[in-house]
Structure 1
Amino acid sequence: MNRKLLALACLAALALSACNKPAEPAPAPADAPKAAEPAAPAPAEPAPAPAAEAAPAAFDAAAFAGTFSGTLPCADCSGIDTKLELKADGSYGLDESYQGKKDGTFKGDGTWTAEENGKRVRLDPNSKSDDDRLFEIVSKDEIRQLDQEGKAIDSQLNYSLKRAAAAH
């Protein structure tokens, strides 16, 4: 039974290949003796793709590292002064000061990773009681806080942190 199926499959493949005859004869294998026909000109090399169509370069997390700061919205205060230092080694430090709150200063640290080929940053805090935080990479100089699901926060309030000028 298996031989009949194999023979039938071979016949079907042969029949299908006969329907798709190539316009030119197939080239002889490299180890076959060459006929006395003139050699066909080599096909032209395809032109390189324009730069706009080239695959995007991989995100360089070490080059993106830096300090971002700004004032994020606060539900029960006038704002949260935020300073986020993304370090080239993949760690981060976070300082938050809740404006007008006594004992409203918090520090955090952990690791950060770029996701979606550099479209998003995930902060993974060392304190496992804290949730991960997500930021959209708007540009090399701006990140914007996202909600817990990684979606933009639907608000007119400013959730952006801007890159701080490098200290000289």
Structure 2
Amino acid sequence: MNRNLIALACIATLALAACTPQPAAPSTAADVGETPVEASQPAAVDVVPTGEGEAATFDQRDFAGSFTGTLPCADCPGIDVTLVLEPDGTYRTTHVYQERPDGAWTIDGHWSVESDDGVIRLDPNSKTDEDQLYGIESRERIVMLDADGNKADSGMDYGLTRQGAQ
């Protein structure tokens, strides 16, 4: 039954993500007949700088911690999620379906940060479970993403908040 619930949650997430409109391709100067202008480069922002210097890098050990929140559920009041990111690169996530006697399961594995786009990738030890992505909004908040790395466009809160003092 838990596998069915996991599959249902994944399908619901993907369905919500599929409803997201794709952004229009930006027009270029050649498209509109204007004089070409050198495009400015977007500013690179490190999510968690580790110190002063020219090129601060993401410090996975420093970012590790416990995040909790309640995610939306199609057929229950919500899914209580606790995600513990360990400094050694391992993780454990616990999902508890509210108002269900047997609605809890735990997944563990390894986590990494794709620092070029501020995304946490959870790689479960069980290969029957799919990788899960979380976007880093701040040091205190991460948000569940779909398989393509996009936020849900449903208006519902898929965020987890850091717990405890860091």
* Fold match by TM threshold 0.5: yes
> Which residue of the partner structure matches residue 139 of structure 2?
140
Superposed displacement of residue 166, structure 1: 3.5
> Which residue of the partner structure matches residue 27 of structure 2?
none
Q: What is the rounded CA distance, in whole Å, between the counterparts of 1:161 and 1:122 in structure 2?
A: 15
The structure 1 segments of at least 4 consecutive aligned residues displaced by more than 2 Å after TM superposition are none
Given that 2:58 and 2:115 are in contact with CA atoms closer than 8 Å, whether structure 1 keeps it comes out as no
Per-residue CA deviations over 1:91-136 (Å, capped at 9, x if unaligned) read 0011110001120010110000000346110000011111100000
> Which residue of the partner structure matches residue 98 of structure 1?
97
Aligned partner letter, 1:125: P
Higher relative contact order structure (alpha carbons within 8 Å, sequence separation ≥ 6): 2
Superposed displacement of residue 55, structure 1: 4.5
Superposed displacement of residue 145, structure 1: 0.3
Q: What is the rounded CA distance, in whole Å, between the counterparts of 1:104 and 1:166 in structure 2?
A: 29
Q: What is the rounded CA distance, in whole Å, between the counterparts of 1:131 and 1:95 in structure 2?
A: 15
The alignment partner of 2:61 has SS state of helix
Per-residue CA deviations over 1:4-62 (Å, capped at 9, x if unaligned) read xxxxxxxxxxxxxxxxxxxxxxxxxxxxxxxxxxxxxxxxxxxxxxxxxx744110000
Aligned partner letter, 2:98: Q
> Which residue of the partner structure matches residue 12 of structure 1?
none
User: What 5-or-longer segments of structure 1 have no aligned partner?
Assistant: 1-53
Larger gyration radius, structure 1 or structure 2: 1
RMSD: 1.6
> Which residue of the partner structure matches residue 153 of structure 1?
152
Given that 1:59 and 1:117 are in contact with CA atoms closer than 8 Å, whether structure 2 keeps it comes out as no
Aligned partner letter, 1:161: L
Number of aligned residue pairs: give it.
Answer: 114
Q: What is the rounded CA distance, in whole Å, between the counterparts of 1:63 and 1:117 in structure 2?
A: 17
Q: What is the rounded CA distance, in whole Å, between the counterparts of 1:81 and 1:60 in structure 2?
A: 27
Distance 1:56 1:154, change over 3 A: farther
User: What 5-or-longer segments of structure 2 have no aligned partner?
Assistant: 1-52
Aligned partner letter, 2:155: Q
1:49-64 residue pairs with structure 2 within 5 A? 55-64=54-63
Give the TM-score taking structure 2 as reference length: 0.65
